[in-house]
Structures are given as C-alpha cells and as structure tokens.
Structure 1
Amino acid sequence: MAGGYSGWWGAMGGPKEKGFVTYTLSPFQLKAMKGVLSRGPTNMLRRTAAQVPYILPAFLLLWGVTSYGKTRYEYLHSKAGHHENH
C-alpha cells in the first residue's frame, strides 16, 4: 500500500494474535532490598571467594613483574649498573 496509512506502530488492523500471556508484578509487591543486610555480606564474601582462583594468579604475576622491573631499574641507574653497561 504505497503512500497509505499502515497503522500506528504496527497496528495494521488485522486479526488479534492468540497465545500471548503477559504477567506483571505490582511495584508495591517488589522487595528490591530484601535481605541486603542479613544475607548481603555473606553473599558478597562467597562470590568474592569464588573469584579468587581467577584473580590471584594474574595479581601475583603483575606483582612479580612490577617488583622485578623496579629492582632492575634501580640497579641499572646505580653506580654498579652504569659500570656494567658502559
């Protein structure tokens, strides 16, 4: 239908679709902060502890490389380091 009105946001005027069920909750029944003080800290500790095996190796590698770099930098900029390279 070129140039004609095709309805508001897809309301083409065809037959109603069947089988769609929509459920909603009243905003007065939602309890978004339920248990945040009683179970929140323990859940945070449990979830953090579950991530330690993934984070700890990367942290240790970063610490080792940084420590080695600082030590090597200080040595190369010392009197002994200058004598070694020149």
Structure 2
Amino acid sequence: MRPTQTLLGGGGAAPIGKHQHFLGGWGNFGGMKQKGVISYGIAPNRQNPLAGAAHDALFNTWRRFSAQVFYWAPPMIAGYYIINWAVDRNHYLNSKQGRAEFGGEE
C-alpha cells in the first residue's frame, strides 16, 4: 500500500519529486544532490577585513555628501540669514535709536 500525500508531508501536501522521492518538510529536504554548485572560501588568517576601508569611506562619504548637499544647504543658508536678520532687527528695536523711532507704535 502506498502512503498518501498527507502522510508523506506530515500534514501538508508535499509534492513527490521527479523520481518518486519525498521532498520532506521544512528544513529536511531529502531531494537529490545538486550539481554544478561551486563555493569558494579563504582561510581566516588570509583575510583582511579592513582592506581599503579608509579609502572607500573617504570617497563614499564625498559621493553621498555631494549628492545630497543641494537638498539641505540652501534651506540652511536661508534660515541662517533670516535668523541673523531677526537678531539684528531685535537688537535695533531694543536700542535707544530703535525705541526713539518705533517707541510710540506699540
């Protein structure tokens, strides 16, 4: 007697592969070995994890800064000049000359 799909899948309907081989549940795939998969490695004592980090950080920082500077620099410059004008105007209005000129308006 052949087991049903439910019994093979442990409750789920797991497909039977090309060669009538049960694929298994999650984390327990029992399929055929894969061919043509190549992986390369290097010994830990041959690795240099910080190779080129300072050079890449410098140029990556410049690239990102130059791409974003026109978005935040103009509002910051405009804000600086507006605040500077407001502070100067406040100092003038609270000075002797400012009170003499605009003192009776408030």
Q: TM-score, normalised by structure 1?
A: 0.60
1:47 corresponds, among 55, 60, 64, to 64
Amino acid at match of 2:96: K
Q: State which of 11, 14, 26 in structure 1 corresponds to 2:11.
A: 14
What are the residue-to-residue correspondences of 1:39-78 with 2, within 5 Å? 39-78=56-95
Q: Which is bigger in relative contact order (C-alpha 8 A, separation at least 6)?
A: 2
1:33-78: per-residue Cα shift (whole Å, max 9, x none)?
5532121111101101111110111111111111111110110110
Gaps of at least 5 residues in structure 2 are 1-9, 13-24, 30-43
TM-score (norm 2): 0.50
Change (3 A) 1:75 1:38: same
Aligned residues: percent identity?
Answer: 27
